[in-house]
């Protein structure tokens, strides 16, 4: 028993250290601009046994936990991005994605905490070509470098109550984070050299405009979970905005030729007028057939026309539809190990809340995973593999192919509650 506790502690410590060292924008980051609902394994209809339910962001289903439970999720991404001109870029990312904690007490009451990313940006846009500045005093050219980095994370406090076939929760959620935009401009003027018969650089100047935005949105919401007499589980979740705040600090700097001395030209700070967060809701169904669970989930976010305080990107409504299946052959603890594993697969189609080239961007993802029971099934290590095509060069001129490895650690223990109380 003590050995298993040491192994759990080592796993958590190694994962936390890797996260702190490898995360680029923040300790909680994922994917790219507009992932207002990350492609995690959060569903509304499927409820798993004991601690496995923590993978489900329909918190109402936590009412059926028998033990105090904790889950941790992290992913490693490999991106291959290409535009319509055939220009490609490849990069990878390690991201820390989800922490959840649930404490059941009394007669199917529970208190929970959850922290996960809801919107992440990490984009660099480089203009390699020099553009002539219109109506410049001399023949002056400019090239640009734009970098965007930031994250908005969701922190929720949840209370819920369960009955025999029905459960509900209420939650208060804070969406908070930082968002930085840096635009660098290089201005160059050329002069003709008759000796070398070439254009020489006469002078060059560098300018940089930086915007740092601090964002806070507070929402209230809740969830429902119902086990119907027909063997179908029905779940739903919703939230609506209550308060929003955004503050922006802007700087504009200039350097001498070749960037040797920096001179600050301006530094201003102001609150952004009327930042907004959308109405969100989701619905899910699941049905158990023998040892299979078949599920369907739909999520909707009303982003159209909103200013969430990040930048001037025009947002559109977000939708996600997911069909999943899991196979749970578990029967007896002394069965072979492969018969105590849970196998999962899913197909997801997401419409992102922004457009590229005036056309919508769709993410199509295929996911396969398996669950490795550990420590008398109180601890589970889940590994998932996903392939995602985001956008299309033929449709909107930009395509991102993503390979993802996701690691989930789900653990439960009888810290405060006796399992035999509910006779599960």
Question: Per-residue pLDDT for the chain (424 aa), expressed as one digit of tens each?
Answer: 555 555 555 554 544 444 433 433 332 222 233 333 333 334 433 334 333 444 456 788 888 887 788 888 888 888 887 777 777 777 787 777 778 888 889 899 999 998 887 776 666 666 567 788 877 667 788 888 877 777 888 899 999 999 988 999 999 999 888 888 888 888 888 888 888 888 888 878 888 899 888 889 999 999 998 888 888 888 888 899 999 999 999 998 887 665 566 777 788 888 888 888 889 888 888 888 888 888 888 888 888 888 887 777 778 888 888 888 888 776 665 667 667 778 888 888 988 887 777 788 888 999 888 877 765 556 778 888 999 898 888 877 778 888 989 888 877 765 444 444 444 4
Length of the chain as a residue count: 424
For residue 110, give the CATH number of its domain: 2.40.160
> Residue 241's closest CA among 299, 151, 175?
175
Structural domain span for residue 285: 2-422
pLDDT at 169: 94
* Cβ proximity of 30 and 38 under 8 Å: yes
CA distance 110 to 102: 7
Give the H or E element holding residue 322.
strand 318-327
- As given in the structure block, the two tokens for residue 329 are 């052959």
- As given in the structure block, the two tokens for residue 241 are 């905005």
CA distance 316 to 329: 42
- As given in the structure block, the two tokens for residue 352 are 């992102």
pLDDT at 110: 93
CA distance 208 to 125: 14
* Cβ proximity of 35 and 352 under 8 Å: yes
Strands (E), 33-165: 68-83, 88-105, 109-126, 131-132, 140-162
pLDDT at 258: 56
- As given in the structure block, the two tokens for residue 170 are 């209420």
Phi (first) and psi of residue 405, to 5 degrees:
-115, 120
Instruction: Tally the domains of the chain.
Output: 1
CA distance 384 to 110: 28
> Residue 69's closest CA among 83, 38, 85, 48?
48
- As given in the structure block, the two tokens for residue 148 are 């965007």
């Amino acid at each position: 028993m003590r050995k298993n506790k040491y192994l759990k502690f080592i796993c958590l410590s190694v994962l936390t250290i890797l996260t702190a060292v490898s995360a680029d924008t923040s300790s909680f980051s994922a994917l790219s601009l507009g992932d207002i609902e990350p492609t995690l394994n959060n569903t509304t209809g499927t409820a798993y046994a004991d601690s496995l339910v923590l993978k489900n962001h329909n918190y109402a289903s936590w009412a059926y936990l028998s033990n105090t439970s904790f889950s941790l999720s992290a992913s490693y991404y490999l991106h291959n991005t290409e535009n319509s001109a055939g220009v490609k870029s490849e990069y990878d990312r390690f991201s820390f994605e989800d922490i959840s904690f649930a404490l059941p007490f009394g007669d199917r009451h529970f208190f929970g905490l959850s922290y996960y990313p809801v919107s992440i940006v990490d984009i660099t846009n480089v203009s390699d070509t020099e553009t002539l500045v219109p109506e410049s005093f001399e023949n002056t050219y400019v090239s640009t470098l734009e970098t965007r980095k930031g994250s908005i994370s969701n922190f929720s406090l949840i209370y819920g109550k369960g009955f025999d076939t029905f459960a509900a929760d209420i939650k208060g959620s804070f969406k908070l984070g930082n968002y930085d935009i840096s635009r660098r401009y290089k201005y160059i003027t050329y002069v003709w050299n008759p000796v070398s018969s070439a254009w020489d650089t006469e002078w060059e100047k560098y300018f940089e405009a930086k915007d740092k935005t601090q964002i806070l949105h507070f929402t209230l919401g809740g969830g429902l979970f119902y086990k119907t007499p027909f063997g179908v589980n029905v779940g739903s979740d919703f939230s609506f905005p209550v308060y929003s705040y955004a503050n922006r600090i802007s700087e504009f700097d200039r350097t001498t030729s070749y960037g040797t001395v920096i001179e600050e030209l301006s530094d201003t700070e102001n609150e952004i007028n009327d930042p907004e967060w959308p109405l969100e809701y989701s619905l899910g169904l699941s049905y158990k057939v023998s040892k299979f669970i078949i599920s369907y989930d739909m999520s909707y976010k009303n982003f159209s026309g909103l200013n969430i305080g990040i930048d001037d990107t025009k947002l559109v409504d977000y939708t996600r539809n997911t069909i999943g299946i899991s196979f749970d052959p578990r029967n007896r603890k002394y069965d072979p190990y492969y018969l105590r594993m849970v196998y999962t697969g899913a197909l997801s189609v997401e419409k992102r809340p922004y457009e590229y080239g005036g056309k919508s961007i769709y993410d199509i993802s295929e996911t396969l995973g398996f669950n490795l029971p550990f420590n008398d099934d109180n601890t589970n290590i889940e590994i998932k593999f996903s392939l995602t095509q985001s956008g299309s060069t033929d449709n909107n001129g930009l395509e991102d192919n993503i390979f993802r490895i996701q690691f989930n650690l789900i653990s439960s223990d009888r810290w405060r509650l006796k399992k035999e109380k509910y006779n599960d």
